[in-house]
Amino acid sequence: MKRKRSVVTSSPRVRDPYLGPLRLGLRRPRTRPQAAASGSPAASSGWPGAVSGESGLPAASEADARTGGRAVPAARPEIVDLSVDLAPRRPGRLVLQNPVMVASGTFGYGIEYGEVVDVERLGAICCKGTTLKPRLGNPPPRVTETPAGMLNSIGLQNPGVDAVIERYAPLWAGWQVPVIVNVAGESIDDYAGVVRKLDGVPGVAGIELNISCPNVGRGGLQFAVDRDAAAAVTAAVREATDLPLLVKLSPNVTDIRPIAQAIEAAGADALTAINTLSGIAIDRRTRKPLLGNVYGGLSGPAIRPVALRIVYEVAQAVDIPVVAIGGVSSLEDALDYFAAGAVAVQVGTAIFADPEVPLRIVDELRAYCAERGLASHLPLVGTALPARPNRPSSKGVEYRP
């Protein structure tokens, strides 16, 4: 697709001079292996689980992707249904045409990329974090590349919920792709106040709560790291709107499972895992913290193993959908997250290097399913999970390094 103009992000990228060209730790696009002459897909598809079965699923789960254990012939990609319901408690309210979303803070409000990619082909758009009042954000520098990822410290720069409704919602209302508004705040009243304004606004398909924000009423402790606080803000927002509600989990906790369960009980329709990890970078010239706010959120391929572990744990602890985010830059990454229990993925940092990554994953996922005779990607979900969730270890405790 011919690009009409370059993409401008909200903040400049500050690069460490020792790191060289901007790479973000992403893989080069690869051509997937062709099927063998017999029509069977090659076993070495690039996804680790593929070695145990023709379908690319682990051997124990391969029969589940076939009818009665019988081989299913390869299907045409156009008949593969990639749709997924992210709010099954509210049937039909948030059904995505495919499971590939774009993450908050990496895709603006959608219109910024309209001349670069076909936004209507995305599963959903999570817009920039939105607060009750306008925010100028943190002092620069705000972004720096790190090995296999990036640190950002934008500080929730946004024009405020009233301006978002006025400027962007009328455009979203004319799109087929659902737009989910990411909401942030410093108190429960802040969150509820933003959501009340968004409730019933044409073009707003759902809410994603960013609870990795300091709770001023609890001395700055983040909502996301406290079970009771996370449940309280979720319940308050649930009371304020009937819109589908996703809650974004923080990785900066000892055990995410009780927090996820409390959020589910408080009324969330789905969970997003994970938000960024906290980190810093040092300016090698000044020997001082590089980011203007010192701390930043680490994202990109560097956090993928952590995100994969959390998705794996949360998917066993709750009964609502889990959306994975963290270093997704290829079909293989998405397949790993599906195997760990996610029903959809969000692409974030990879977009800065290549805005077409999300749509490429959609096309490759459709072809992947068709090659294996799958009518949907859903048989791929949860194949890595244990047969008996939460089974205690032989020592009665879970070992985690």
Size (the chain), residues: 401
127 is catalytic: no
Q: Are 324 and 340 in contact (CB under 8 A)?
A: yes
Six-digit token pair at 338? 């599906």
The DSSP code sequence of 225-236 is G-HHHHHHHHHH
Which of these, 274, 362, 330, 306, lies nearest to 26 by C-alpha position?
A: 330
- Cβ neighbors of 401 (< 8 A, separation 6 or more) are none
Q: Are 175 and 204 in contact (CB under 8 A)?
A: no
Where would I find the H helices in 241-395? 257-265, 304-317, 331-339, 350-353, 357-371
Handedness of CA 234, 235, 240, 246 (dihedral sign): positive
Q: Which residues of 91-112 are buried (b: 16+ CB within 10 A; e: fewer)?
A: eebbbbbbbbbbbbbbbbbbbb
Given 126, 127, 213, 369, which residue is catalytic?
213
Instruction: List residues with catalytic annotation.
Output: 213
